[in-house]
């Protein structure tokens, strides 16, 4: 009997400890606010309806002039992030791209559309000055290249605050953005951080008596399938 008790403790206790800490991070943690003054994009032109960061959980990116060479970024984000969280109400992708890239972006969306419903991918076409202004409002240590491109994407909450990590486990520094060229970063960091933010809003709406049950169930179904 003692033998079975010891074996049970050895196998069950580590699992219980892991589940406890994992539950604590995902259900009770909040994704830190890194900056509260991100510039909105509603005054810029878009493909169709007016696009705004207000009232949305946004993955914000900067596609640059050479759209065709950034397809890998888009496909990584589509497969790892967009398809996983698109079932949630008020979730969107917003990419800023310089004027003149409309046809290249149209081609990119046509390549993405067989893989997912891209109705919540929004592309905004504006001047390089406007793109730089929005990027600089994030107040990150990164910079755009000469084509107005960055490999990093950023999480913006419904109040247009920039969210991220105060301490990244691997660098011991703030995590401002997520490298879209790295599947590992999207898998191991960005997915977790969006989950924390969504849980934060879900708890807030639950306290206010507002239900997002359909989106939550849809997400859980996706997670279980994966």
Q: Which pTM was predicted?
A: 0.79
HEC readout, the chain: CHHHHHHHHHHHHHHHHHHHHHHHHHHHCCCCEEECCCCCCCCCEECCCCCCCCCCEEEEEEECCCHHHHHHHHHHHHHHHHHHHCCCCCEEEEEEEECCCHHHHHHHHHHHCCCCCHHHEEEEEECHHHHHHHHHHCCCCCCCCCCCEEEEEEEECCCCCEECECCCCCCCCCECCEECCCHHHHHHHHHHHHHHHHHHHHHHHHHCCCCCHHHHHHHHHHHHHC
Give the model's pLDDT for residue 168: 87
Express each pLDDT in 18-53 by its tens digit. Answer: 444 444 443 447 899 999 989 999 988 666 678 999
């Amino acid at each position: 009997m003692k033998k079975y008790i010891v074996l049970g403790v050895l196998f069950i206790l580590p699992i219980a400890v892991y589940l406890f800490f994992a539950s604590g991070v995902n259900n009770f943690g909040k994704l830190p606010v890194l900056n509260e003054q991100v510039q909105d994009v509603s005054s810029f032109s878009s493909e169709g309806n007016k696009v705004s960061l207000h009232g949305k959980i946004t993955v914000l990116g900067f596609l640059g002039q050479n759209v065709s060479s950034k397809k890998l970024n888009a496909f990584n984000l589509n497969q790892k992030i967009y398809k996983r969280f698109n079932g949630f109400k008020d979730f969107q992708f917003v990419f800023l791209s310089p004027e003149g890239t409309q046809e290249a972006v149209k081609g990119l969306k046509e390549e993405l559309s067989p893989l997912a419903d891209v109705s919540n991918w929004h592309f905004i076409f504006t001047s390089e000055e406007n793109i730089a202004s929005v990027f600089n409002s994030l107040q990150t240590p990164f910079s755009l290249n000469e084509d107005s491109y960055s490999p990093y994407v950023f999480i913006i909450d419904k109040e247009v605050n920039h969210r991220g990590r105060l301490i990244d486990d691997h660098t011991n520094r703030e995590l401002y953005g997520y490298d879209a060229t790295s599947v590992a970063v999207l898998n191991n960091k960005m997915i977790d951080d969006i989950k924390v933010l969504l849980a934060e809003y879900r708890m807030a709406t639950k306290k206010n008596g507002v239900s997002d049950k359909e989106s939550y169930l849809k997400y859980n179904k996706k997670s279980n399938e994966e």
